Amino acid sequence: QLLLRYAERILTASSEAIKALEDLRNVQVGAVNLGASQTTGTYLIPKLVGSFQHKYPGVRVQLTVGSTSSICTSVAAGEIDVAIVGGEVPRELMDYLQVTTYTEEEFVLILPPDHPLSMKREVGKEKLYNLNFVSLNQNSTSQKFQTQTLKDNGINPKLLHVQMEFNSIEAIKSAVQHGLGAAFVSQSAIQKEVQLGLLHSSSIEGILLRRKLQVVTNSKRYFSRAAQCFTQEILTAADWYGIQQQSGKSNRQRGL
């Protein structure tokens, strides 16, 4: 076990040294390993990567999509350079991670376009108890967020009629389109379907279903120029400055 830990450290140091040597050339080459939670990785990250690679076509991008917990663990281990997650960052990893708010995502109620409530932009709280719902399974971070937010706004999730549970947003959207029920999903996940008239989205009267999306980095690991450029592209100048300061301090301490 002792030899294994040292071998892992050597491999990590070697990987960081290779990144540093690549950075000596220029930012037009190199690689960035991205991570994202499920919804973010499916509907947000591809747009960001497309914009980034248009500016830096020589940079290789690798994306890993998983649960917030697993992605943050990979960032802490130095396997992922930058991640955008929507769930709660595990507290036990906070000593290794730097977490910066990126933006907020809004969850909306989706209905089939021929549903009687589809004529309304806002739906009253009391109407929710008369709907059939489809949802993500209860272990999903998105579902836990929705459940807690509904509770916080005086809605009892236990009284909602959940007919079916799924393990993907795409399955939920398809189920709603075919009239199997209503659902709460991220607004970013349904833009195309709403534009095409396949789904209707409504807000809930008096409730904002929003959660923070966060950029997660590891200030104790070498931060390649490619990773720096990607992070700078998606953050405000002030947020980027904070990450840059922490990364620079860490790199100096490591002698890189």
- Confidence class for position 8, pLDDT limits 50, 70, 90: low
Span 45-82, pLDDT tens digits: 999 999 888 888 888 999 999 989 999 999 999 999 99
- Confidence class for position 193, pLDDT limits 50, 70, 90: very high
For residues 101-118, one letter each, b for 16 or more C-beta atoms within 10 angstroms of the residue's C-beta and e for the rest, the string is ebeebebbbbbbeebebb
Residue 113: DSSP 8-state: T
- What is the full DSSP assignment across 5-24? HHHHHHHHHHHHHHHHHHHH
Say if residue 219's pLDDT is above 90: no
Enumerate residues 6+ apart whose C-beta is below 8 A from 29: 22, 58, 59
For the chain, helix (H) and strand (E) counts, in that order, are 10, 10
C-alpha span between 213 and 216 (Å, rounded):
10
Cut 0.85: pTM above it:
no
- Confidence class for position 21, pLDDT limits 50, 70, 90: very low
Say if residue 182's pLDDT is above 80: yes
Say if residue 177's pLDDT is above 70: yes
- Strands 60-66 and 31-37 come out as parallel
C-alpha span between 211 and 6 (Å, rounded):
40
- Confidence class for position 31, pLDDT limits 50, 70, 90: confident
Span 108-165, pLDDT tens digits: 999 999 999 988 889 999 999 999 999 998 878 778 888 888 898 889 999 999 999 9
